[in-house]
């Protein structure tokens, strides 16, 4: 459910200091110091932001009749809208009301009373309401800073045309200044949210954080099974195939030639070994070796006589 633009304020209710355990007193003192720091940072940043917004309002009413159809002027109403929305939240007043509740006040007009020691502690409804407002304001500031950066780049490009430079320079300066102030506001808001969460842990019995509206709703346990088993067919990966080692072609050629020469000698009608003398065996062995060498030389000569064209000489083939 989206948050309302103007939610009804929550009445601040407090409980006396005696209802809080003594072990939390030092923690509450630290929380009050952080709230004072957040209030000062928000006051300075929002004060400068309101000054820039007032200047933007005057420029808007001065230029809208003449430049409302111009491209560079399209970003000005958007900047004005985000600034007015931030002012409507009045986040500084809500933080000061939280500080005043610790001393039993319902208004922030008495600044001296805020410096006194705390005697009360606010209850859960207002702390929860303020945490939601701070979270919504932080989201708005982040979005506004993003749009201001885009407006700055848009004005910088429009300045290059040279038309209405005096107005565009003012818009560039305002958008840049508002973007810097948005960063400071974001830091102060984040510190305020953390401080409210620390206070929520003290006053809430379960000790959970107050920023539950920004979290996603939890799903029931039945919709999230712990494990799921799928019946998928087993993939047949096959068996590994062993690759043969590369064959040495040089030795195989010589062996083939030797086998062929031996077969030829057998076909010629070589006499049995009983009738061969040692000299004859030696002569046939020498003849077979010389024939093998001649065949190998012929193969080399054929390879050497291969013609090379000019392209092969260029590329080294």
Which stretch of DSSP H or E encloses residue 122? strand 120-122
Is the sign of the CA dihedral 75, 81, 85, 87 positive or negative? Answer: positive
Measured CA to CA, the distance from residue 184 to residue 67 in angstroms comes to 32
Phi and psi (nearest 5°) for 103? -105, 10
Measured CA to CA, the distance from residue 31 to residue 95 in angstroms comes to 12
Task: Mark the ranges of the chain whose per-residue pLDDT is less than 50.
Answer: 1-3, 207, 212-236, 244-250, 253-254, 269-277
Q: What is the pLDDT of residue 229?
A: 42
Say whether 152 sits in a helix, a strand or coil. Answer: helix
Contact 117, 75 (CB under 8 A): no
Measured CA to CA, the distance from residue 207 to residue 150 in angstroms comes to 41
Is the sign of the CA dihedral 157, 160, 163, 168 positive or negative? Answer: positive
Contact 88, 140 (CB under 8 A): no
Residue 168, classified by CB atoms within 10 Å of its CB into exposed (0-12), middle (13-18) or buried (19+), is buried
Q: What is the pLDDT of residue 144?
A: 94
Contact 202, 118 (CB under 8 A): no
Tokens of 238: 């096959």
Name the packing angle between helices 124-159 and 165-203 (round to 10°).
Answer: 160
Phi and psi (nearest 5°) for 121? -135, 130
Q: How far is CA 96 from CA 1, 90, 291, in A?
A: 28, 11, 113
Say whether 13 sits in a helix, a strand or coil. Answer: coil
Q: Within 13 Å, how many C-alpha atoms sit on residue 71's CB side?
A: 9
Measured CA to CA, the distance from residue 265 to residue 284 in angstroms comes to 9
Q: What is the pLDDT of residue 118?
A: 83
Measured CA to CA, the distance from residue 232 to residue 229 in angstroms comes to 9
Which stretch of DSSP H or E encloses residue 16? strand 14-16
Say whether 93 sits in a helix, a strand or coil. Answer: helix
Q: What is the pLDDT of residue 20?
A: 85
Q: How far is CA 44 from CA 40, 184, 199, 306, in A?
A: 6, 10, 24, 92
């Amino acid at each position: 459910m989206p948050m309302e633009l103007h939610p009804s304020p929550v009445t601040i209710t407090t409980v006396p200091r005696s209802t809080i355990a003594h072990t939390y007193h030092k923690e509450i003192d630290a929380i009050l110091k952080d709230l004072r720091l957040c209030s000062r940072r928000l006051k300075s940043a929002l004060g400068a932001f309101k000054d820039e917004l007032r200047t933007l309002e005057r420029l808007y009413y001065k230029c809208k009749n003449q430049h409302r159809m111009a491209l560079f002027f399209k970003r000005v109403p958007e900047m004005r809208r985000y600034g007015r929305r931030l002012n409507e939240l009045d986040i500084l007043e809500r933080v000061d009301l939280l500080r005043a509740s610790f001393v039993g006040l319902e208004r922030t007009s008495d600044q001296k009373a805020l410096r006194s020691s705390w005697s009360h502690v606010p209850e859960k409804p207002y702390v929860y309401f303020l945490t939601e407002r701070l979270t919504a304001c932080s989201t708005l500031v982040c979005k506004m800073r993003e749009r201001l950066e885009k407006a700055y780049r848009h004005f910088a490009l429009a300045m290059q045309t040279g038309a209405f430079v005096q107005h565009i320079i003012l818009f560039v300066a305002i958008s840049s200044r508002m973007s810097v102030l948005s960063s400071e506001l974001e830091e102060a808001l984040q510190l305020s949210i953390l401080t409210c969460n620390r206070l929520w842990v003290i006053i809430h019995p379960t000790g959970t954080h107050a920023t539950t509206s920004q979290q996603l709703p939890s799903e029931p346990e039945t919709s999230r099974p712990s494990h799921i088993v799928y019946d998928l067919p087993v993939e047949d990966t096959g068996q590994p195939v062993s690759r043969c080692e590369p064959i040495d072609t040089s030795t195989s050629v010589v062996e083939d030639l030797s086998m062929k020469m031996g077969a030829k000698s057998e076909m010629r009608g070589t006499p049995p070994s009983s009738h061969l003398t040692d000299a004859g065996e030696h002569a046939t062995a020498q003849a077979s070796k010389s024939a093998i060498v001649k065949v190998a030389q012929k193969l080399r000569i054929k390879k050497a006589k291969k013609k090379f064209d000019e392209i092969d000489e260029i590329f080294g083939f």
